[in-house]
Amino acid sequence: MALFDMRLQDLHNELASGKLSAAELTEASYKRIAETDERIGAFLTLNEEGARARAAELDRSGAEKGLLHAMPAGIKDNIVTKGLRTTCASQFLTNYNPIYDATAAGKLNAAGAVTIGKLNMDEFAMGGSNENSSFRPVRNPWNTDYVPGGSSGGSAAAVAAGQVYFALGSDTGGSIRQPASYCGVVGLKPTYGLVSRFGLVAFASSLDAIGPLTKNVEDSAYVLQAIAGHDGMDSTSAEVAIPDYVSSLTGDVAGMHIGVPKEYMGQGIDPKVKESVLAALKVFESLGATWEEVSLPHTEYAVAAYYLLASSEASSNLARFDGVRYGVRADNPDNLLDLYRKSRSQGFGQEVKRRIMLGTYALSSGYYDAYYLKAQKVRTLIKRDFDQAFEKFDLLLGPTAPTPAFRIGEQIGDPLTMYLNDIVTIPVSLAGVPAISVPCGFVDGLPVGLQLIGKAFDEATVLRAAHAYEQNTDHHKARPQL
Amino acid sequence: MSIGMKDVEHVANLARLELSVDEKEQFVGQLNAILKYAEKLGELDTDGVEPTSHVLPVTNVMREDVVKESLSNEAALLNAPDDEDGQFKVPAVLE
């Protein structure tokens, strides 16, 4: 078995017994990138010198080796890494050199992981196809004519292609789960506040969450373990006890009661995707879980509420990119105002401008109540749908996306259609609860993801159910031919 | 509500964006389509519903007022497009 096909636990055992070194693992990662990334486009920046030095240091160190020790990791390029270029896939930040590490990146370092490089994405995490990267689009490793999803498309594609052994992504309305689904990997969006946002370049602050993309559920649990926890540097970081996620992977889901939102299985969902989800329910039944249909009646309003709220927050957050303190500054401005206008207009791509415009409009005088405040109230109704469902169910289950990946270029001219790809991930983000996407089959050679949604801070149950499903299916073992 | 060229220009000014004529025309169409879709929210009666700005029950988070390490001048200016005498440099604000 190739190194990049192995579980983190197996690699760890090889390292612990001295059969494998950090240097070998790092080299294997760069070799794989050299072989495949011209076709995939997952990386924006490689950290070759830094990673090799780090691997050599880890091999010399006599310290106790934790599970992530020496594991080659990729980090989405909106998570800042000290001294390693961080662009958010935007021309605006082409040469941005962070002066500190994001908390999640620092925690991975502390756990011994090796940062291989920074991963491509939709510019400022706005998009669901990676076509909005201002450097190059990412291609789906299963079929390079297709999108990998987004915005964490580089993270999902790099893991699917075996370039890194796990990756960090960020999810605002589905940006970890949807690319995981399209690329046939496992993507976990933790509860809002479980993982510190310090050093995550803000898109929509009330929704943004950092989480792992991995080849399997056990690896996801290990990575989550390393990055979860309270952080004084993020005032929306939750003060909750962090359980041992890996020990929750018992394989036992007997007696678990699962709700299947009928709105997630209805109009707009590809019938073949639905079939894969129904087949997954049969697996859960065979393991002693029970399920029934449930209604989340405000689902159809989630996309509209989300695009108003997320764009409003984005218009405010992206005001910091003014060409004064960092990023690109336009040449020969007439005055300070002109400097702001020109720098922003030259630095931002179309989707980013579109969302800044939408958000600025929704927050502007005369429209605030009709759009922004209305959307916040609808968010309350959507959250209540979940609160009520979780009074009865341990877990909710549905597809991660309505369809498998689409062709590059197919939807780029139609923003609204593109936004509707997120119809089953967005409500979960608005409610702030955790959800995982795990591979549950293929439609026409492209992967399909199963979404398992849990109660706030109950990642342990989400992971346990996903792991039990995985242990009884082979979908996660399939690999793209590259 | 539908938005026209003038609205797009007004909002672009608020957002400190300079748009080409093509961009403006494109945004008139696209923003109208998105806002029309958002009118869906009007179907819901939200009288008496509290807005959710945040899902966590946290408001103001305080810490002890103690001096902590802060960025050095050098680090703060590391990414500055232009600087002089340890300060960010911008075009003159006053004539």
Tens-place pLDDT, residues A207-220: 999 999 999 999 99
A327·B49 Cβ contact <8 A: no
pLDDT at A414: 79
Arithmetic mean of pLDDT over chain B: 93
Residues in chain A with pLDDT values less than 70: none
Place of tokens 């009709």: A370
Find all residues with CB under 8 Å of A61, minimum gap 6, and list them.
Answer: none
B58: pLDDT strictly greater than 90: no
Residues of A with Cβ-Cβ distance to B52 under 8 angstroms: 376-377, 379-380, 383, 430
Give the pLDDT confidence of B21-38 residue by residue, as tens digits.
999 999 999 999 999 999
Say whether residue B67 is in contact with chain A using an 8 A CB cutoff. Answer: no
pLDDT at A345: 97
Distance (Å) from the alpha carbon of B57 to chain A's nearest alpha carbon: 9
CA B52: distance to chain centroid? Answer: 19
With a pLDDT cut of 90, the percent of chain B lying above it is 81
- Asked if A345 is an active-site residue, the reply is no
Residue type, A457: F
Place of tokens 């018992």: A250
What is the three-class DSSP state of B14? helix
B92: pLDDT strictly greater than 90: no
Arithmetic mean of pLDDT over chain A: 96
- Asked if A61 is an active-site residue, the reply is no
Find all residues with CB under 8 Å of B48, minimum gap 6, and list them.
Answer: none
Round to whole Å and give the CA distance between A231 and A101: 13
Round to whole Å and give the CA distance between A223 and A210: 11
Out of B18, B52, B93, closest to residue A383 by CB: B52
With a pLDDT cut of 70, the percent of chain A lying above it is 100
Out of A99, A238, A430, closest to residue B71 by CB: A99
B55·A383 Cβ contact <8 A: yes
pLDDT at B35: 92
Which tokens belong to A411? 């939807």
Round to whole Å and give the CA distance between A174 and A437: 10
Position with higher pLDDT, B59 vs A460: A460
Say whether residue B68 is in contact with chain A using an 8 A CB cutoff. Answer: no
Residues of A with Cβ-Cβ distance to B31 under 8 angstroms: 354, 357-358, 361
B18: pLDDT strictly greater than 70: yes
- Asked if A31 is an active-site residue, the reply is no
Catalogue all structural domains in chain A, each as residue range(s) with its CATH number. Answer: 2-250+434-477 (3.90.1300.10)
Residues of B with Cβ-Cβ distance to A373 under 8 angstroms: 51
Closest residue by Cα to residue A482 from A22, A171, A140, A181: A140
A 157-196 residues with CB < 8 A to B: 192-193
Backbone angles phi and psi of A212, in degrees to 5: -90, 150
Say whether residue B55 is in contact with chain A using an 8 A CB cutoff. Answer: yes
- Taking phi over 0 as left and psi of -120 to 50 as alpha, with beta for the rest, A101 belongs to beta
Residues of B with Cβ-Cβ distance to A345 under 8 angstroms: 17-19
Q: What top-level class would CATH report for the domain B5-41? A: mainly alpha
A449 close to A177: Cβ distance less than 8 angstroms: yes
pLDDT at B1: 62
pLDDT at B95: 67
Domain boundaries, chain B: 5-41
Round to whole Å and give the CA distance between A190 and B56: 13
Which tokens belong to A237? 């970081």
Going from the C-alpha of A370 to that of each of A308, A364, A365, A366, B12, the distances in angstroms are 11, 10, 10, 8, 20
Residues of B with Cβ-Cβ distance to A375 under 8 angstroms: 38, 41
pLDDT at A267: 83
